[in-house]
Chain A
């Protein structure tokens, strides 16, 4: 199938604000479009979204497909799926990327199923690679055993679609002098669209300091076994002015908030210091702090794979070492 060599990004807006993960995804799309000598285009759906389209241009979008209508203010899964699928059929992009947040993960699979193409979830990276003499898009996702990474590619169907984890790519620097083409697309609601309607959207402020963007992250795993342990970790974080993240079991036990899950299903962080406590170091987790400048790992098991991915490993029981650390670091 021949395509127009465009790399598309779904630019999600909520209440008139572009989502950070969409801008990060745009950063990845810029990289990929250079590799394939193509162009980057954003698909923007909302009510009065003209100013956001300009903003996307300043971030590097060479084209913006803008679909604006009062009915489209909030995400509506049927309408958004239809709009994007029809645009794909009309313009035939080479790739289409979505941020892997909750709404992105609701929408991307539906679009992929409607246009019958492949979709890879929660990619930690995407690049062009030569396989069997052909340049192809390859996604990397963590595999099971310690540090194994799986590479996934697409068959001949286009666009190649992927959702990119939050923090996996960098948001480009905006530049007001950039020029781009804004293509406005008309919207007419169909009976199908109206089968599902968002009546209300309530956004909340993070209850805990978000791990994304934090200079220091303290992250706990299943080694946390009680509320007291949670307090201990929090105390260490407070001493350091750090955000608290954690592994999936820690999240499931509600020791850390859902939004601060570290790893392929959660956030990818790049703080100057990352302290992992009582987490074994599964690839799904450690891919989330690969970009940290300095990593300290605390675990009582000397064989834990976490010690393979840290700068400084401390083999100790968290109940003993964390209070000592709090003491030692308080006085800095």
Chain B
């Protein structure tokens, strides 16, 4: 059984540097100059799961896909080095400013028209956007079922999978899904592999396709800023009314001080 597998990955700002990211006070857009970029951590798990499925079912083909500005192609190179067969880069100025619906639409235009994957694998969430909305929206626009928060997936036959969907407090749902379908994975689904020197060499010979709005025949009203029904309308500095009494000194004194304050405030 040979499967067509697509893995959606995204480049994000390194969370180690989140405190250095500022917002343009006028437009509300994120300014991330000088902040290093990485592959979204859960997308590494998505890719790993894709690779495992590909290795299990001979003849399968894995495509890594991202939508992003020119520097984002790096994550695709990484995906190829790890073992993806081909990379598809959706990049166009017209895609800029996309909210989750416009992002999902753009990815769906590729998947629906050119990809036709049997299974699409996403990360459950990106660390810099953290909406977790793109995956279910992509599935919905393709009219295929989706499961988020997936920690296990098992093939019953070539057209059916059973996914374990984690819910709160360690509970779960066992969900039976007919392919084609989309799953969005959490960290515990697998341990990701490291890139090898061989993988890096092989990456050069693999297909890398860049597609813009014209090639996708995307509706200009549904992509980028124009296709985004949610808009940033402003930013403000949070004013928090707190005492802000800051103390330093010997820890014994500080601890006593805490104790006094808590009795004063009637908390203990």
Contacts and interface: CB of A to CB of B under 8 A. Distances in A.
A196 B169 contact: no
Interface of A: 74-75, 77-78, 81, 101-103, 105-110, 112-114, 116-122, 131, 136, 138, 143-155, 157, 195-207, 216, 248-249, 259, 264-265, 272-273, 280, 282-283, 286-287, 290, 293-296, 302, 305, 307-316, 320-321, 324-325, 327-329, 332
Interface stretch (B43-51, B60-68, B110-118, B251-259): B251-259
A122 B149 contact: no
The 10 closest A-B pairs by CB, nearest first: A118-B229, A113-B140, A313-B246, A196-B145, A328-B255, A324-B255, A118-B230, A121-B131, A113-B137, A109-B133
Contact of B132 (A121, A153, A307, A320): A121
B267 A117 contact: no
A283 B232 contact: no
B12 interface: no
B215 interface: no
A109 B100 contact: yes
Contact of A307 (B178, B246, B252): B246
B53 interface: no
Interface in B239-268: 240, 242-248, 251-252, 254-259, 261-263, 265, 267-268
A324 B252 contact: yes
Nearest to B28: A150
- Residue with the highest number of chain A CB atoms closer than 10 Å, among B172, B246, B261: B246
Contacts of A216: 267
Interface residues of B, number: 79
B23 A112 contact: no
Nearest to B129: A121
- Residue with the highest number of chain A CB atoms closer than 10 Å, among B21, B132, B173, B177: B173
B251 A320 contact: yes
B237 A148 contact: yes
B139 A110 contact: yes
Interface of B: 15, 18-19, 21-23, 28, 30, 99-101, 104, 125, 130-137, 139-141, 144-149, 162, 165-178, 181, 228-238, 240, 242-248, 251-252, 254-259, 261-263, 265, 267-268
B149 A106 contact: yes
Nearest to A321: B251
What is the predominant secondary structure among interface residues of chain B facing chain A?
Answer: mixed
Given A102-B167, A302-B246, A311-B243, A332 B268 contact: yes
A110 B149 CA distance: 14
- Residue with the highest number of chain A CB atoms closer than 10 Å, among B237, B254, B263: B254
Nearest to B166: A102
B267 A199 contact: no
A196 B176 CA distance: 6
Contact of B247 (A119, A315, A324): A315
A160 B132 CA distance: 18
A197 B177 CA distance: 7
B98 to A, nearest CB: 12
Contacts of A283: 238
